[in-house]
Amino acid sequence: MAIPALNPPLRTLMGPGPSDIHPRVLEAMAKPTIGHLDPYYLQLMDGMQQMLRQLFRTTNPMTMAISATGSAGMEATVVNLIEPGDSMVVCVNGVFGGRMVDVAERAGADVTKIERPWGEVFTVDDLVPALEKKPQVVGIVMAETSTGASQPLEEISRAVHDAGALLLVDAVTSLGGIPVEVDQWRIDAIYSGSQKCLSCPPGLAPVSFGPAAMEKVLSRKTKVQSWYLDVSMLANYWGTDRVYHHTAPINMSYGLYEALRMIHEEGMEACFARHLANHEMLKAGLSELGISYAAQEGHQLPMLNAVHIPEGVDDAKVRGELLNRFGIEIGGGLGAFKGKVWRIGLMGHAARETNVMLLLAALRKLL
């Protein structure tokens, strides 16, 4: 039987993730595999932790990369902080807030769901009634990938801590694209993914647990629901003891190490400025085509542009032609936005002027 050779097409990835991967990252992943307790790999883990702490803007010792995708980052933070019967408030204004609700309920949480219309963001006033009930954990999405909405956190964090709760933040799309200030904003637990603004293939989930979160983990009365994601055991692998827990994805770690190194070479502020400049260029070009944004004005993400599909335009046909004729991938809408919006990613290595110009030219041709 003749089995076809592996020959994936070249694409320009401008959807909601994964993003374009720099050749340096792909080259790093092709380097020789070594053991997960090899002294060189342990040094690499130290370097990765140091770079992640700088990017998260934190000194948290328990900062690491979960050996799985961003969704496992969500699950890791939730199942470690939640014991059966614990009360949790989750803010839902898109798909990924809804997913956090599901994960928390599966972990046994008594969940209170606060909702805003898709594309809008939360204010402290939205949370006040739920905070009066003194929940143990409050979960919120910083960059809602389904709507392109950018959620301010500083005032909400103050209110959450004044109520005695822990703050859990989804930064899957935000990390590496806009500032994430874990220590300054007093974020207790946070997770991200390797495939968005970090421009690494999907497969690792950076997380960070602050002192209060770790106190909660280490004082649990019940075991963490997931053996694989139990931070009290992962701490022994990522900490100074290096006790075997699982076989880490060695070559994926090479990729994330190189991707983080590239962000720090560029400089975090320069990286954020690049994402914003390309977003502004895209927004101006889309405006000329009569295409408007779905997210609340003043709260639009630079790296994930959710825009209304023009009236009378065939969603699937345009996305199909972008892919087949021009090699450009953009995303369709999810949930309440299905068939109503396009999601255009400018993440990491994809946030380049040439990509913006290529997409605008292709859309002008198709529309």
Is residue 359 one of the residues assigned to a domain? yes
pLDDT category of residue 83 using cuts at 50, 70 and 90 = very high
Same domain, yes or no: 219 and 73? yes
State the residue range of the domain holding 308.
12-17+268-366
* 238 and 105 within one domain: yes
What CATH number does residue 55 fall under?
3.40.640.10
Over range 88-94, report the average pLDDT.
98
First to last CA, the chain: 44
Q: 18 preceded by cis ω (within 30°)?
A: yes
Are 244 and 109 within one domain?
Answer: yes
Q: Which residues contact 122 (CB under 8 A, 6 or more apart)?
A: 91, 93, 114, 116, 140, 151, 156
- For residue 127, tell me if it sits in a domain: yes
- pLDDT number for residue 240: 81
Q: Given 264, 280, 303, which residue is the final one in a domain? A: 264
CA distance 214 to 218: 6
Domain boundary among 264, 283, 314: 264
Closest CA to 239 of 23, 55, 65, 61: 61
- Flag whether 154 is in a domain: yes
Q: What is the Cα–Cα distance from 347 to 20, expressed in whole angstroms?
A: 8
254 and 105 together in one domain: yes
Is residue 68 located within the same domain as residue 216? yes
Of the candidate ranges 74-78, 238-242, 298-302, the one whose mean pLDDT is the lowest: 238-242
Q: Assess whether 287 and 255 both reside in one domain.
A: no
Taking residues 349-361, report their average pLDDT.
98
- 361 domain residue, yes or no: yes
Indicate whether 255 and 278 sit together in one domain: no
At residue 37, φ and ψ (nearest 5 deg) are: -120, 10
- Residue 299 token pair: 């709260």
Q: pLDDT, tens digit, for every residue of 312-333?
A: 999 999 999 999 999 999 999 9
Instruction: Indicate the average pLDDT of the chain.
Output: 97
Residues 159 and 244 reside in one and the same domain: yes
Instruction: Return the half-sphere exposure (C-beta side, CA atoms, 13 A cut-off) of residue 6.
Output: 0
Residues 315 and 350 in one domain: yes
Q: Are residues 34 and 47 in the same domain?
A: yes
Residue 220 lies in a domain: yes
User: At 318, which CATH number?
Assistant: 3.90.1150.10
Which residue type does 292 have? Answer: S
Residue 300 lies in a domain: yes
Residues 249 and 156 in one domain: yes
Among candidate residues 232, 264, 296, the one where a domain is terminated: 264
Looking at residue 3, its pLDDT comes to: 94
Domain count along the chain: 2
Q: What is the pLDDT of residues 275-290, one digit of tens each?
A: 999 999 999 999 999 9
Q: Which residues pair with 149 in a beta bridge?
A: 144, 300
User: Is residue 2 included in any domain, yes or no?
Assistant: no
Q: What integer pLDDT is reported at residue 111 of this predicted model?
A: 98
What pLDDT, on a 0 to 100 scale, did the predictor assign at position 36?
92
In a domain, residue 3? The reply is no
Query: H or E stretch including 128?
Result: helix 124-131
What confidence category does residue 136 fall into, taking pLDDT thresholds of 50, 70 and 90? Answer: very high
- Per residue in 223-249, pLDDT tens? 999 999 999 999 889 988 888 899 999
Residues 215 and 314 in one domain: no
